[in-house]
Amino acid sequence: MSSPDTAFPQPHRPQTMAEKILSRRGRQTVYAGDLAVVEVDQVMVVDSIAQSFIQRMQQDLNAVPKYPERVSIVVDHVAPASTVSVAQAQKEAREYAAATGVRLFDVGRGICHQVLMEEGLARPGWIVLGSDSHSTTYGAVAAFGTGMGATDIALAAASGKTWLRVPESVKVTFTGELRPGVSAKDAALEMIRQLGADGATYMSIEMHAGDRFTRGERMTLANLCVEAGAKTGLVVPGGEILDLYDVPAWVYPDEGATYVREVVLDLSSLAPRMSAPSEVDNVHDVADLRGLRVDQVFIGTCTNGRIEDLHAAAEVLRGQRVAAHTRLLVIPASSQVMESALQDGTLLTLMQAGAVLGTPGCGPCMGRHQGVLAPGEVCVSTSNRNFIGRMGDKDARIYLASPAVAAATAIRGEIALPEDVRPVSA
């Protein structure tokens, strides 16, 4: 795997993180608005796009991946396959991986973004392109992650490079500390509300959080950035990221860099938040939505399907029962998450409360299988999108929330806060 090199001309004015990474990986000093041609450290292809990717590679470009070790195919969106045509597409993806030597993460390994992160295939200063819009998630570890279509992805796989217009940056500074029961998801939803669903279109959201937030929490923040239209979402390295990775000094933004907008978000004033149908920036206090009857609760996805999310849910669900009229689906984001949750007893706690477990992967997040919604049904989900028809019927409604709020809602069978649920002594 390539490692960003060190010899590099000095920039002549202060740079944002996006400008820093794209300059370094393109070996040319660039600023917002410039065109950058950069080395790509990892190309990620998901099952739903694999067929078009393979077609572009073989028929349009007549090329093989230049660096097979820099390409990963993940079977996660509809896994295990739901129809014969899905099964056929996945079969072709497997055959392609075997023939070209690219990595394959097959059914059950987990959601693309979670898997790449666990496998060390996104690192500080890297450029990671994914055939999936939530590829902004890699910004959690200061990798410039971004989503692209099958054609651009294929070009990057074939050439090892890509070209990008260097994005302008919005600076988001987190201050204060979260109160108990309030999570990074609440902070992320509030950030999207303040920026607006298209408030950061084609921009880099540069998040300054000091040593706050774990890697998982940073993934939640960076994941949601695309819901403000962002090209990428970069969290300035701090806290446990410094223990987990070698962070090169050059990824940090310069003092005095240019931002098109600056937002300060005081975490200490935040209450649990919820995004109501059918735009992600339609964010309210959970307290204001309390009492709405809920048919399905879904805990999982690349936003909130990690071990810490399952722990937060289990803490609320321990010794409780899911309401009789409500289904609780829990789908760990990866096989690693599932194994940890099995080993530490979290899965047992969840199952004893009435949760139904699914294969690690995207599950019903985009309404393809494993829990699609009927007309009129209401779902509280820990995912990142609540658009009309996202999880099934166009007349179903989706509310986005943290794992703790989702768990409390499952117990009450209506939108609820963790504090609404009687705590059970361990």
Ligand X SMILES: CC(C)[C@H](C(=O)O)[C@@H](O)C(=O)O
Residues that bind ligand X (CB under 6 A): 46, 48-49, 77, 132-134, 147, 366
Torsion of CA 138, 142, 148, 150, to 10 degrees: -60
Cα–Cα dist 409/286, whole Å: 10
Closest by CA to 364, choosing from 295, 312, 309, is 295
Q: Rule CB under 6 A: is residue 280 a binding residue for ligand SF4?
A: no
User: Is 379 annotated to bind ligand?
Assistant: no
- Quick one: 158 or 302, whose CB is closer to ligand SF4? 302
Q: What share of the chain is helix, strand, coil (3-state, %, to 5)?
A: 35, 20, 45
Residue 371 DSSP class: S
Q: Rule CB under 6 A: is residue 359 a binding residue for ligand SF4?
A: no
What does 48 bind: ligand X, ligand SF4, none (CB cut-off 5 to 8 Å by kind)?
ligand X
Stretch that binds ligand SF4, among 238-246, 358-366, 394-402, 413-421 (CB under 6 A): 358-366
Shortest Å distance, C-beta 366 to ligand X: 5
**DSSP string covering 274-325, please?**
EEPTT-TT-EEEHHHHTT-B-SEEEEEHHHH-SHHHHHHHHHHHTT----TT
Residue 129 token pair: 């392109």
Shortest Å distance, C-beta 152 to ligand SF4: 18
- Quick one: 22 or 111, whose CB is closer to ligand SF4? 111
- Compute φ and ψ for 326, nearest 5 degrees: -120, 140
Stretch that binds ligand SF4, among 224-232, 252-260, 359-367, 410-418 (CB under 6 A): 359-367
Binding ligand SF4 (rule: CB under 6 A), the pick from 365, 373, 378, 396 is 365
Please work out the total of residues on this chain that contact ligand SF4, with binding judged by CB under 6 A: 12
Stretch that binds ligand SF4, among 6-14, 158-166, 279-287, 361-369 (CB under 6 A): 361-369
- Quick one: 72 or 301, whose CB is closer to ligand SF4? 301
- First vs last C-alpha separation in the chain: 47
Annotated binding site for [4Fe-4S] cluster: 302, 362, 365
